Chain A
């Protein structure tokens, strides 16, 4: 009875909280259009290399519209000088993506009649690259608006302005006066950043320089700063997007895996056997798998797709990054501690061989109502490897004459059915379709009806 007396008010409080929580309202902005072109950034890629308080942030650019329309506003924790901003090679993001992307692995069943099973042919398929993210703006100073242009410089094809502001209305006006299309309601959203004494990194494309550079696409922008804040402002990024957005964050750390502190970090379903026909539709497969996992987790989690020490990979889907490439990706601690980072005190556990760079690939699909707060990260000492890995196991195709061969053949239908069910569960695809497609792809394995019937016993 006592329990109920205590629980009732608690329940009431919780119900009240749930009922009166303000309804989510749509909001917008990471990219700011210079012209009327609607800018939607649906998938962004960000690389964060961090050791201690020092952070190097690389923002990839998958901007789809006209280059002249491109502009971004990014809240940053400190004032940035020209030396702290650079343009990174676009390939670096592709390299990181290829290295860490969820993958298919193929195995071929050995001849069950052959004496020992050794030859395991193994090949890896990569799902190829994802998109990128990046951004920019225009300049003019007006003290009366409370906006200070702290720095204004040019880096590669970008014109950069670093702004500090006293009040959000002034900043909004300043941006409008300088020709940026600021979405409605940006004012309210800029205020929290101003009040947390963050500065604004504003970049737009310098068309002349862009033409001179000879690049077809905009290159990633890279900024470095020193701050205890280990976060990524996603709220402003929702200015442009009307729907869910995808964000891939590659976190490079000397310690171990990174995770999100204010949302759950969940591993993507992995290491399962799926029907071999998926080889031809891997992208579709992974999209459905992600969507299914995302919905299942209530849309409020970040997914870990890859975690590993970058010094090793087995098997590698792409060559590990060279020290030069790592440096390009923002890793700045390579030179200093090339020897070891083995801690002084009680690490008398198993000594681990370490390359000193640990990569975590986080995939976050967010929308305004499910991710109200900016992402805050945490570096952990967790050195456990993980990857999104899906196994295709090809049945043996040759002649089967021995007893073991017959048993093997009889075991196959059961295995295929298992694979079909796994696939259906992971992707929410129709099991009948899967079965149909499987018949087509393993059609050259002939079974009599009688044989498949027998296999169930």
Chain B
């Protein structure tokens, strides 16, 4: 049962990064804030699932799979992943900010839906809500440093997870497009190449590319759609970072372009993603297609 679901791997890796980060990096990360994030995420998920199921029953609509026991557990897994991702990326001074981030992250899955699909990445939505709604949230892009073993750790484990989910194309398209744009800029400006490598060797960037924009539930279903979408995000990130000097550029880019998912899904029809083979899905019914890639 354990590790049958790909999300167990994600929980394991994100948890590992958190432990490694707190253990070896000098983070302004407080254990009680992680606790608040996890508790709020799980509670919000649970409460909203209940509300939805009651509402569905009352309205005589077929209850979504999320309300049965198995569905409940899988969606709690998703909530845990979201809260771990937030713990890794978001920093705040007060616990209330973390609670707002976690609650809005999870609530976005229920509120911003098109058909059965939520189009905002929950973690990303949480980060942006905290940045916009509160005055004491921030993201520390430099916190991972640039040591290569971190790159290796991220790439290795992220790649493993991705291969199992089959959304590596998104990461490749994003990183490829972004590094190409930065390379062109670097060449034009005339910086030496170590400046370029320094820019790319950012742990936070990799974390984003491997774990955030690859969330299969909120990204376009077809491969061509994902590639186009990822390239757009890379382009917007590049512009925001280099011409508007936004240090949280990647998160804003993803936030701004997330609704494009709907449009892209209409343009390029493709089967939707389900978590497990033979699984009924955590919200939708019946799409168990695990897209296989070479």
Flag the segment in A61-69, A130-138, A241-249, A255-263 that touches B. Answer: A255-263
Dominant secondary structure of chain A at its interface with chain B: loop
Digit string of B23-41 for contact with A (CB within 8 Å is 1, else 0)? 0011010000000000000
* Neighbour of B142 across the interface among A2, A3, A261, CB < 8 A: A261
A262 and B193 contacting across the interface, CB-CB below 8 Å: no
B194 at the interface (CB under 8 A from A): yes
A346 and B96 contacting across the interface, CB-CB below 8 Å: yes
A290 at the interface (CB under 8 A from B): no
* Neighbour of B159 across the interface among A7, A381, A382, CB < 8 A: A7
A6 at the interface (CB under 8 A from B): yes
Given that A14-B155, A22-B194, A372-B192 are contacting pairs, would A300 and B94 also be in contact in the complex, using a CB cutoff of 8 Å? no
A192 and B92 contacting across the interface, CB-CB below 8 Å: no
Q: How far is the CB of B18 from chain A (nearest CB, A)?
A: 17
Q: Provide the residues of chain B in CB contact with A11, threshold 8 Å.
A: 152
B116 at the interface (CB under 8 A from A): no
A108 at the interface (CB under 8 A from B): no
Q: Provide the residues of chain A in CB contact with B145, threshold 8 Å.
A: 263-264, 298, 300-301
Distance A261 CA – B141 CA, assembled complex (angstroms):
5
Q: Provide the residues of chain B in CB contact with A349, threshold 8 Å.
A: 93-97, 136
A24 at the interface (CB under 8 A from B): yes
Interface size bracket, A side? 35 or more
Q: Provide the residues of chain B in CB contact with A191, threshold 8 Å.
A: 189-190
B197 and A21 contacting across the interface, CB-CB below 8 Å: yes
A300 and B142 contacting across the interface, CB-CB below 8 Å: no
B134 at the interface (CB under 8 A from A): yes
A10 at the interface (CB under 8 A from B): yes
Which B126-177 residues have C-beta < 8 A from chain A? Answer: 133-138, 140-148, 151-152, 155-156, 159-160, 163
B188 at the interface (CB under 8 A from A): yes
B114 at the interface (CB under 8 A from A): no
Minimal Cβ-Cβ distance residue in B for A3 = B160
B253 at the interface (CB under 8 A from A): no
B135 and A261 contacting across the interface, CB-CB below 8 Å: no
A300 and B146 contacting across the interface, CB-CB below 8 Å: yes
B159 and A10 contacting across the interface, CB-CB below 8 Å: yes
Distance A265 CA – B144 CA, assembled complex (angstroms):
9
Distance A24 CA – B189 CA, assembled complex (angstroms):
18
Q: Provide the residues of chain B in CB contact with A301, threshold 8 Å.
A: 145
A381 and B136 contacting across the interface, CB-CB below 8 Å: yes
Distance A347 CA – B137 CA, assembled complex (angstroms):
11
B100 at the interface (CB under 8 A from A): yes
Minimal Cβ-Cβ distance residue in B for A381 = B136
Q: Provide the residues of chain B in CB contact with A378, threshold 8 Å.
A: 138, 140-142, 247
B135 and A343 contacting across the interface, CB-CB below 8 Å: yes
Q: Provide the residues of chain B in CB contact with A118, threshold 8 Å.
A: none
A122 at the interface (CB under 8 A from B): no
A373 and B198 contacting across the interface, CB-CB below 8 Å: yes
Digit string of A1-45 for contact with B (CB within 8 Å is 1, else 0)? 011001100110010011001101100000000000000000000
Q: Provide the residues of chain B in CB contact with A300, threshold 8 Å.
A: 145-147
Minimal Cβ-Cβ distance residue in B for A307 = B28
Given that A7-B159, A266-B26, A345-B135 are contacting pairs, would A192 and B247 also be in contact in the complex, using a CB cutoff of 8 Å? no
B91 at the interface (CB under 8 A from A): yes
B3 at the interface (CB under 8 A from A): no
A7 and B143 contacting across the interface, CB-CB below 8 Å: no
B195 at the interface (CB under 8 A from A): yes
Q: Provide the residues of chain A in CB contact with B244, threshold 8 Å.
A: 228
A196 at the interface (CB under 8 A from B): yes
B135 and A196 contacting across the interface, CB-CB below 8 Å: no
Given that A7-B156, A10-B159 are contacting pairs, would A348 and B96 also be in contact in the complex, using a CB cutoff of 8 Å? yes
A178 at the interface (CB under 8 A from B): no
Distance A403 CA – B245 CA, assembled complex (angstroms):
66
Minimal Cβ-Cβ distance residue in B for A27 = B192
Question: Could you list 14 examples of A-B contacts with CB < 8 Å?
Answer: A10-B156, A14-B152, A14-B155, A22-B194, A24-B194, A191-B189, A192-B190, A195-B189, A259-B142, A265-B26, A347-B136, A382-B28, A382-B93, A384-B93
The 10 closest A-B pairs by CB, nearest first: A349-B94, A381-B136, A343-B135, A380-B138, A191-B190, A264-B145, A192-B189, A372-B194, A228-B245, A266-B26
Residues of A within 8 A of B (CB): 2-3, 6-7, 10-11, 14, 17-18, 21-22, 24-25, 168, 188, 191-192, 195-196, 228-230, 255-256, 259-267, 298, 300-301, 343, 345-350, 369, 372-373, 376, 378, 380-384
Residues of B within 8 A of A (CB): 25-26, 28, 91-97, 100, 133-138, 140-148, 151-152, 155-156, 159-160, 163, 188-195, 197-199, 202, 244-245, 247
